[in-house]
Chains A and B, each alone.
Chain A
Amino acid sequence: MKIHLPNSAWIGNIDPFIRSFDTSNDGILEITSHKKWVSVHPVVLCMIAALGLFMRKKGAKVNFEQMEATSKHYLERIGLFELLEIDSEITVTPHESAGRFIPIKKIKNSEQLNDFIKEIIPLLHTEPEKVEPIKYIISELVRNVFEHAKSFEGAIVCAQYYKKSEIIRIGVVDIGVGIKYTISEHYSPKNDVEAIALALTPGITGTTRRIGGTGENAGAGLFFIKSLAKASRDFFMIYSGKGMYKLLRTPKEKDIKLIADPLKDHFSFDNELPFWRGTVVGIDLCLKKTFDFEKLLDLIRNVYRKGRKEQTKIRYRKPKFI
C-alpha cells in the first residue's frame, strides 16, 4: 500500500489525495510526503495514523519516508509519529506554543473517550460554549465507532482549531467493517454511497429496520452532525469502502435549510475510490457568533416534525419540565 501526504488536502480538495491511495500489496505500507510543504486536514492525519496502526497490527512493514517539508514539525507536535512509534528525528523546541490542536489519539473505550473530552477543553483555548458542538461531534462519532465499526484499534481522532477564522476541523477515522457492511444487516444498499446516504438519513440505523431505532440507537447521530456542518455553511465528508459523500458549502446568500434526505442536499459523491476498510469522517465547523447550537436544534426538530406530521398527523404529548 502507498499513501502520500500532499501539499494540500482539505475536505474541499481531498478527492485527489484519496484517489492516489494505492491499496495494492498489503504486505507493506509506504508513507511519503510532499517535499516542500504539507498542509492537510486533521482527517488526513487520522487516516495515515489509522492505516499505519492497522498495518503494523497485521504484521506488515510500515515505512514512513523521512520528511523534508518545513511543516514536518506540525506533524511531530500533533503526535503522528509518536502514535505510529516512529522516530521522526524531528526536534520540537520547548518555547514553541502548544498550539490550538487536539493531538492524534486512539480511543478504544468509554473511559478513554470521557478523558479525551475533558482534555480537549483547555487545549483549544476557547470559550466553553464554543467547545459544546465539538464535544458533541466527537462523542457521537467515536461512539458510532464503538458500536458499529468492530475496529480493533478503536477510533483515531484529531482536530485543529483556527482562532482567527474560528474554524474547527475534526477527523474521526476507523479501520473497521465500514458503513455498507453495517447498514446491510437490515437494508440493501447497492453501493457504498447509497449505504452512507442511508446512514445519514434520520431514523435509519444499522441495528434495526424499525423506525426510531432500538433502545440504544436512533439513527440520528450522523444527521445531527451533518446538520451542524450545514448550519455553519461548511464541509462534511464520509468515506467508507469505495464511496465518499461530501456535503458542500452552503453559499452565504442562501438560507440554511436542513434536508432529511442526504441525496437532496448540496453534495458531491464518488463511488469508485480506492477501498477504505472502515469509515473516515471529516468535518469543518465555523464557531463564529452566527453559529447558534440552540437554534440548530430547533431546525433539526422541525425537519423531523415536518416529514412525520404530514404523514401521520400525530398529536405529540409534551414532556413536562419542572
Chain B
Amino acid sequence: MKEIKIFRRVGSFAENKDLAREIRIKELFPYVNNEKELILNFEKVESTTQSFIHALISDIIREKGVSVLDRLYFKNCNVTIQKIINIVTEYMQDKS
C-alpha cells in the first residue's frame, strides 16, 4: 500500500495549500483512480489547518464519492489533526 509522508513535504505545521494541492493532484488522484488503497502518514506533523486538509482531500471525496474514504487511511494523526480531518470529511458528505 502506498504511503505518503506529509511531514516530508510540508513540515510540522501543515498549512501550505499549494503543496496540499500538489500532493492531491500528483499522488492522491492517480492512486485512488486505480482503486488502490493509500495511507496519508501524519507522523511528526504537529498541527494543520482546515484549509490544508480541505485542499488535500476534498476534491477526491467530491469526485470519487465518499466510498473513497474506505481506501484512504490517515495514520499517526494527533487528536487535533483527527478532529480537523473529521470536520472536512463530514462537510464534504453534505449534499449540495
Contacts and interface: CB of A to CB of B under 8 A. Distances in A.
Contacts of B47: 132, 135-136
Contacts of B16: 110, 113-114
B33 interface: no
A218 B50 contact: yes
B15 A298 contact: no
B61 to A, nearest CB: 9
A215 B80 contact: no
B58 A224 contact: no
A292 to B, nearest CB: 11
Contact of A212 (B39, B62, B74, B80): B62
Interface stretch (A28-36, A80-88, A157-165, A300-308): A300-308
B80 A293 contact: yes
Contact of A117 (B15, B50, B70, B79): B15
Nearest to A132: B47
B49 A140 contact: yes
Chain B, interface residues (CB within 8 Å), range: 35 or more
Contact of B93 (A117, A213, A317): A317
A143 B86 CA distance: 22
Contacts of A135: 13, 15, 47
Contacts of B66: 317
B13 A322 contact: no
A255 interface: no
Interface of A: 110, 113-114, 117, 128, 132, 135-136, 139-140, 143, 202-203, 210-218, 220-221, 224, 293-294, 297-298, 300-301, 304-305, 308, 312, 314, 316-322
Given A213-B58, A218-B50, A221-B50, 7 more contacts: A117-B13, A117-B15, A218-B58, A220-B50, A301-B87, A321-B74, A321-B82
